[in-house]
Amino acid sequence: MSALGFCHKCKQLVRQPDGCYPGFTTAEGCNALNFLTTGAGNTGVGWYSLFLNTTGNFNTGVGGGALALNNADSNTAVGAAALLLNTSGTQNAAVGTDALVHNDSNFNDAVGAFALFENTNGFGNNAFGNSALFSNQIAASNTAIGDLALALNDFDGSGLGNNNTAVGGTALFNNVDGSENTVLGTGAGPNVVAGFNNTYVGDFVGSLAPDESNTIRIGDLSNGNGAGSLACFIGGIFFNFQPVGGTVVEVTLDLANDKLGWDVGPNQGAPSVPSRGAPVPRSAPLQPAARPQHQAMLDRKVEALEATVAELKGQLKEQAAQIQKVSAQLEMGKPATKVVVNKP
């Protein structure tokens, strides 16, 4: 079957063999790359994919509505409605249904259904996982790896939640305006909302901690299992003996809450090792099922987020219908196209 293609030399549309479009272009699907003129190196596969692209170059849209409104360069969208509303944002990659659907900024990567769903002008964000960085609007330079990681970041659109790194399912789930936080572990940092410069390592670390700032927690009692980590090994110390005194201080440990502190050591005499009593016995860690309140709260928030996603899906269907109506109006208002038929 032949199709229309723009002839740059003769400045009009000509019939081309299927799959042989000028400018390294491939288009398959209802109205895919419908208005392409001078744009080169584009691939549109799917209903209305890259529909309004005219001069944009090196874009790939695979899926119904993928990059439908785009006219910028170097974007990749794989999935129904991926980067649907992007018009001028460049060098974005979206893989998954509705990934980066509202985006119109640059240098964002989203892999997973609804990843970076609300992002409009945030840049330099990386989201990998279902609904990762879902609510992010204009905040920048965040990295979320795991389902629902940083899901509520920048929910209020203030743009304060920047430079966060969350690795693990639901990690930093409730963070909205906090910045410069680094969290590693499933469910870690659930109470950080506006805190900044925190470092948490370990599953559910921070579950019993308040919204705080400038704090390091590594497998401590705040994970809510009743004991925290029961042993700690740190390399690089044993063979580095130092005299105690001068600028050297003793590290202290509060056995009640695992908080590290310091104290000035003796300034005279031979190096000494501070004595302390035997550690207070602690109970064995409880199983994750022993945190019903935490799990119930998380379940409610996930259900609320799923309801929001369902509502937004309905809105996207309406937007798709509007796109189709606009395209019909554009088709009716276009002047008649001259077609040159190649003759043998």
- Give the tens place of pLDDT for each residue, 138-177: 999 999 999 999 999 999 999 999 999 999 999 999 999 9
Range scoring the smallest mean pLDDT among 3-7, 59-63, 186-190, 338-342:
338-342
Task: Give CA angle at 92 (89, 94), nearest 5°.
Answer: 125
pLDDT of 329: 61
pLDDT, one tens digit per residue, over 29-62 is 999 999 999 999 999 999 999 999 999 999 999 9
Question: d(Cα 324, Cα 309) in Å, to the nearest integer?
Answer: 23
Per residue in 125-137, pLDDT tens? 999 999 999 999 9
AA letter at 12: Q
Residue 198's alpha-carbon distances to 111, 120, 266, in angstroms, are: 26, 27, 32
Q: What is the pLDDT of residue 303?
A: 72
How far apart are alpha carbons 121 and 329 in whole angstroms? 29
Q: What pLDDT is attached to residue 308?
A: 63
SS3 3: strand
Alpha helices in the chain (DSSP H): 292-333
Q: Look at 255 and 97; give whichever has higher pLDDT.
A: 97
Alpha carbon distances (Å) from 243 to 235, 238, 248: 19, 13, 7
Taking a C-beta distance cutoff of 8 angstroms, is the pair 53, 59 a contact? yes
Length of the chain: 344
Residue 89 and residue 115: Cα distance in Å, rounded?
17
3-class SS shares of the chain: helix, strand, coil, % to 5: 15, 20, 65
pLDDT of residue 200 exceeding 60: yes
Confidence class of residue 262 from pLDDT cuts 50, 70 and 90? confident
How far apart are alpha carbons 292 and 119 in whole angstroms?
33
Percent of the chain at pLDDT exceeding 90: 58
List, for residues 280-335, the tens digit of each pLDDT value: 444 443 444 444 555 565 666 667 666 666 665 676 667 667 666 666 665 565 54
As a whole-number percent, the residues of the chain with pLDDT over 70 amount to 68
